[in-house]
Amino acid sequence: MALVMKNAASRFASLRVVVASRNPSAHYSVASSKKAGQTAPEGEIKKSVFISQSRDVFSNLALEDWVYRNMDLTKHHILMLWQNSPTVVVGRHQNPWLEANPQVLADKGVEVARRNSGGGTVYHDSGNLNLTFFTSRDVYNRRRNLDLVTRALFREFNLRSQVNAREDIVINGNKISGTASKLGNPNAYHHCTILVNVDKSILHDTLCKHDKGIETNATVSVPSPTVNLQDVNPHVTVEKMLSSLGWEFLRSSPLSLQDGGMDYASKQGGFQLVNPTEDWFPGLDKIREEFVSWAWRFGKTPKFTVTRSFPVPGVLARQSEAPSNGAAEEVAISLEVVKGVIEDVTLRIPPSMMTAKGFTGDAEVLTSLRGKRFCESAMEILGESLGESDAHHASDQDHCSESEGERFVADCMRQTMMAV
């Protein structure tokens, strides 16, 4: 079955869009035990553009991983073009609690995903186009791919862009594309984003960071000023961007980027609409399950520690039998989180609270947090604890002072986790 894709450049209007087979391995070689360093002659390498028909981030990440794991890319280079529904995507070695604003994500229904490559956190929605360049490892060249993108921007939209020292694509110093990669053996891929018409208010709100009291060796994103392509050239759309990038890829030789024009493009694999499902790509469901799992999205977070301090309420300080030097005292809470699970809780109590009638020093709720997921399971436990404490407070006023300290500590813990 063949379709015709309309392109702004009418001279390419006759090239085909192919609806791919449900079993790509029927047309393309499956990855073998090819040794690193075996490079095919440039003239033997064919090129195809895969266009994912899914907006599900986990399915698209799974498709990306499936191609990387299973296809022989020695003589077949692939550009995969894909979009997602609103999603914050963190790098493999990042901390999602540090990179994103969990409350905004929950309020706006934005997913959190973790990709397999390194790099920083990005926001995806329907105004963003994602590109993945697949090659064998021995001919991997990130800069070549970025130069192809800048060439497409100029050819189709007369936009002059540059690749900066961080290998971001910028226009007038403003970032329109971030980049990351996965290098293996025998295959590799490089992927990047193109900001066409992203909702920048949601982008800002979801990725808005502040001092959360987190100590970690996780990769931290470097904020950069961004701009949508439509703000520079209102004629740019995601559909036109997809078409222009696809044609630029097909008309350019795979290693030297020589422009072969229509004649060269017509000899390539063309545009292929693919559906990232188990029927089309056997084994994909298992890969998707891993990407969607809590263990991958949050449990892969590098070890981190959250520390916050809270001033002791006056009512507890006044109950203290310890002499006061007039200086404000604080309760300090420290949480050590390993693989997304609370491993240790440290509570530092000032003398005024240790001698106050309202605090016995037990704070059992803190020890109950160990081994619980940060922060959903832990928040449930704290919520139950505070609820029970409030009920006890209301039903037995005689014991009010005995629970005030424990309630204060539990509330400090809740605020510590809510601030992350």
Q: Which amino acid is at 410?
A: A
Q: Is residue 413 part of a domain?
A: yes
Q: What is the pLDDT of residues 191-210, one digit of tens each?
A: 999 999 999 999 999 997 66
- Per-residue pLDDT, 10: 38
H or E stretch at 338: strand 330-338
What CA–CA distance (Å, rounded) separates 409 from 420? 17
Look at the chain and report how many structural domains it folds into.
2
Q: What is the pTM of this model?
A: 0.86
Confidence of residue 249 (pLDDT cuts 50, 70, 90): very high
Tokens of 283: 């084994």
State whether 130 and 265 are in the same domain.
Answer: yes
Q: What is the DSSP letter of 137?
A: G
Domain of 374, in residue numbers: 304-320+328-387+403-419
Token digits of residue 420:
């992350």
Banded model confidence at residue 370, pLDDT cuts 50, 70, 90: confident
CA–CA distances in Å: residue 204 to residues 28, 103, 192, 219:
41, 13, 19, 19
Confidence check: pLDDT of 324 > 70: no
CB 271 within 8 Å of CB 49: yes
Q: What is the pLDDT of residue 208?
A: 79
Residues 294 and 336 in one domain: no
Could you report the per-residue pLDDT of 69-127, keeping only the tens digit for each? 999 999 999 999 999 999 999 999 999 999 998 888 988 999 999 999 999 999 999 99
242, 346: one domain: no
Do 271 and 414 belong to one domain? no
Q: What is the pLDDT of residues 348-361, one digit of tens each?
A: 877 766 655 545 44
Residues 102 and 163 in one domain: yes
The b/e string for 142-160 (b: 16+ C-beta within 10 A; e otherwise) is bebbbebbbbbbeebbebe
Closest C-alpha to 240, from 156, 161, 177? 156
Residue 366 and residue 294 in one domain: no
| Judgement on whether residues 311 and 276 belong to the same structural domain of the protein | no
Q: Quick one: pLDDT at residue 6?
A: 36
Rounded mean pLDDT, 120-135: 97
Task: Indicate whether 257 and 339 sit together in one domain.
Answer: no
Residues 271, 374, single domain; the answer is: no
- Is the pLDDT reported for residue 400 higher than 70? no
What pLDDT does 212 receive?
A: 67
**Residue for token pair 């992203």:** 198
Q: What is the CATH number of the domain that holds 346?
A: 3.30.390
| 171 Cβ contact partners less than 8 Å away, ≥ 6 residues apart | 159, 160, 161, 162, 227, 229, 232
Taking the C-alpha atoms of residue 344 and residue 334, their distance in angstroms, rounded to an integer, is 8
